[in-house]
Amino acid sequence: QQQVKQSPQSLIVQKGGISIINCAYENTAFDYFPWYQQFPGKGPALLIAIRPDVSEKKEGRFTISFNKSAKQFSLHIMDSQPGDSATYFCAASLGGATNKLIFGTGTLLAVQP
Amino acid sequence: DVKVTQSSRYLVKRTGEKVFLECVQDMDHENMFWYRQDPGLGLRLIYFSYDVKMKEKGDIPEGYSVSREKKERFSLILESASTNQTSMYLCASRAPKLTMNTEAFFGQGTRLTVV
């Protein structure tokens, strides 16, 4: 019940296209849903995050769509660029004093020029 | 600039060795975490600590232990390294939820190879 399921495992998009990565969860106690971006040789870094009282959050070309009833959330990258090529992880937080993050399995995105 | 620093980028150890992975953060965060990253499996939580000398098991604690003697330092210990522990290890720190600063900051990772 603490899993976060992420798909697809890999994604190839043409420059200028839209990249979409999906995640699903079971535990309704999750109260914070971030996306992390990881470039080769680096640790993951926070990209964008949303709380369940909001259905959408947009920051530049990156948008999270959140469907509380379906227990699903997704990352949309508009006008995808080669520099967006990275591994993307969705995550969910259980909250509480320990503030533990549960991660999805990751999506390797390649944006072709 | 916030920082989580892992002591080694690359390590090669022999089967049966005791291995120490060190992590230091400069953000005065109470919570620190050790994850293991493997292709197709994402980031799996090994152990976490919510205060000095306090620790809890994550999802895959077998074969590992941790130590947190000071707030800024969190060590991962492989008691007797095995080849199936060859992986990328990532340390992270995070402020407690009550502060509403919920971003987790990661180190650059330690690529451990056990031969």
Contact list in B for residue A41 (CB cut-off 8 A) is 108-109
Chain A residue numbers with beta carbons less than 8 Å from the beta carbon of B2 are: none
- Give yes or no for a contact between B88 and B42, defined as CB atoms under 8 angstroms apart: no
Q: Measure the CA–CA gap between B51 and B14, rounded to whole angstroms.
A: 32
Question: Which residues are within 8 A (CB) of A58 and not within 5 positions of it... i.e. 6 or more apart?
Answer: A64
CB contact (8 A) between residue A103 and residue B103: no
CA nearest to B106, candidates B61, B74, B71: B74
pLDDT of residue A31: 87
Chain B residues closer than 8 Å to A102 by CB: 45
A99 with B94: Cβ contact below 8 A: yes
Tell me the residues of chain B between 18 and 57 that have a Cβ less than 8 Å away from chain A: 31, 33, 35, 40-45, 48, 50, 56
Please determine, for residue B98, whether its predicted confidence score (pLDDT) is greater than 80.
no
Segment B34-40 shows an average pLDDT of 94
Interface test with A, best of B1, B98, B102 (most A CBs within 10 A): B102
For range B61-80, the mean pLDDT = 97
Can you give the pLDDT at residue A98?
64
Work out the percent of chain A whose per-residue pLDDT is above 70.
95
- pLDDT of B102 over the 90 cut: no
Q: What pLDDT sits at residue A26?
A: 92
Q: Give the span between the Cα atoms of A80 and A30, in whole angstroms.
A: 29
Q: Cβ contact (<8 Å) for A43 and B41?
A: no
Contacts of B103 in chain A (CB under 8 A): 34, 46, 49
Measured between beta carbons, the chain A residues lying within 8 angstroms of B42 are 6, 89, 103-106
